[in-house]
Amino acid sequence: MDGVWLLGGRDYRTEGKDSPNERLAFGKDAASRFPCEHVSMRLLVVEDDATIAEPLRTGLRREGFEVDLVSTGADALAAPECDLVLLDLGLPDLDGRVVCRTLRERSDTPIIVVSARGKEVDRVILFELGADDYVVKPFGFLELVARIRAVLRRTAGGPSPSASDVRIEAGALQIDIRTRNVTFDGRPILLTPREYDLLVCLARDPNVVHTREELIEGVWDENWWGSTKTLDVHIASLRKKLAPEIIETVRGVGFRLIDDAAAQ
Ligand code: CA
């Protein structure tokens, strides 16, 4: 447990000393593993519980982030642009879910939702809110930092989208990149964030074979070390939700999304 803060629980370790674990995970070589941190990222932390907010701000600053802290939904909506929003859903003035949706309608700034109850947030609700990830209180500080970095990596870089980047059409498939709405044959398709990322990866270049490595690197973190079976599970799920024939397996290589119209 050394090096882990339990925020929202009773076990706060706010003395600000690096434990050996923390140095190992986020030490001086962190910048080389997380390239985006050469530029200081500005986080907006929306949290009304000061016993969580203050140690969180201290910890995140120590990790090299700039942190703006607000305690109400109204202040969150009035806050200036930032690189990522950490949003507690239980706010004193506004429904956190409304704040989340409003922020998402306004910009593509990544949002990590913080919930006190696990069942309050699941992947479906996350999708509906337009959030990028979530953590459940009490959460470990290191887990939170890892999630923040993963979301920043996924969403960082890349030029702002041009008009042709905003919408992807491949046969019966339509993807609106800004709203993350997916329809197939006019029918709305509810996808998890990973399924969505995977589908976008495939649909950006229909009929082109994407290798397993390419897809895993593009959709999961570059430091992904889990089983590549995860990829197959997500492909199977996409086939089930869309149509079995839409994604073709290219044996020993990878997958491609079939768009007959584009191939002609
Ligand atoms: Ca709260």
- Lowest mean per-residue pLDDT among 24-28, 90-94, 101-105, 168-172: 24-28
Distance 198 CA to ligand 1 centre (A): 33
Taking the centre of ligand 1 as the mean of its atom positions, its distance from the CA of residue 73, in whole angstroms, is 10
Is the Cβ–Cβ distance between 246 and 258 less than 8 Å? yes
Instruction: Quick: pLDDT tens for 136-156.
Output: 887 788 888 888 988 888 887
Question: What spacing in Å lies between the alpha carbon of 90 and ligand 1's midpoint?
Answer: 4
Per-residue pLDDT of 124-138, as tens digits, reads 677 778 898 888 887
Least confident of 20-29, 124-133, 187-196: 20-29
What tokens appear for 155 in the block? 């969403």
Distance (Å, whole) CA 86 – CA 135: 10
Q: How far is CA 110 from the centre of its chain?
A: 7
- Find the 137 Cα to ligand 1 centroid distance in Å: 10
Which pLDDT band, with edges at 50, 70 and 90, does 229 fall under?
Answer: confident
Q: Please tell me what DSSP assigns to residue 187.
A: E
Residues pairing with 211 in the sheet: 254
CA of 220 to the centre of ligand 1 (A): 30
- pLDDT confidence tier of residue 103, bands split at 50, 70 and 90: very high
Domain locations in the chain as residue ranges: 6-154, 167-263
Centre of ligand 1 to C-alpha 109, Å, is: 21
pLDDT top residue among 167 and 82: 82
Residue 167: Cβ within 10 Å count: 13
Residue 260: per-residue pLDDT? 82
Phi-psi region of 88 (alpha: psi -120 to 50; beta: other; left: phi over 0): beta
**Which residues have a beta carbon within 5 Å of ligand 1, which is an ion?**
48, 88, 90
Over 60: is that where the pLDDT of 4 sits? no
DSSP SS3 for 42? strand
Q: Specify the range with the lowest mean pLDDT, choosing from 48-57, 121-130, 235-244.
A: 121-130
Cα of 136 to ligand 1 centre, how many Å? 12
User: What integer pLDDT is reported at residue 137 of this predicted model?
Assistant: 82
Contact 256, 249 (CB under 8 A): no
How far is ligand 1, taken at its centre, from the CA of residue 114, in Å?
9
**Of 21-25, 82-86, 159-163, minimum mean pLDDT range:** 21-25
User: What distance in angstroms lies between residue 99's CA and the mean position of ligand 1's atoms?
Assistant: 13
The rounded Å distance from CA 259 to ligand 1 centre is 46
Predicted structure pTM score: 0.49
- Higher-confidence position of 166 and 130: 130
CA-CA distance, 113 to 127, in Å (whole number)?
11
CA distances, 14 to each of 19, 58, 69, 141 (Å): 12, 8, 17, 11
CA–centroid distance, residue 97 to ligand 1 (Å):
12
Pull the structure tokens for residue 74: 């109204």
Residue range 6-154 in CATH 3.40.50.2300: yes
Beta-carbon count within 10 A of 175 CB: 22
The yes-or-no verdict on residue 43 having pLDDT over 90 is yes
pLDDT tens by residue, 198-208:
998 899 888 98
Mean pLDDT of the chain: 79
Kindly give the distance from the C-alpha atom of residue 53 to the centroid of ligand 1, in angstroms, as a whole number.
10
CATH architecture label of 167-263: Orthogonal Bundle (1.10)
Task: Output the CA 180–ligand 1 centroid distance in Å.
Answer: 27
Q: What is the C-alpha separation between 156 and 150, in angstroms, rounded?
A: 10
- Output the CA 117–ligand 1 centroid distance in Å: 11
pLDDT at 222: 52
pLDDT of residue 263: 67
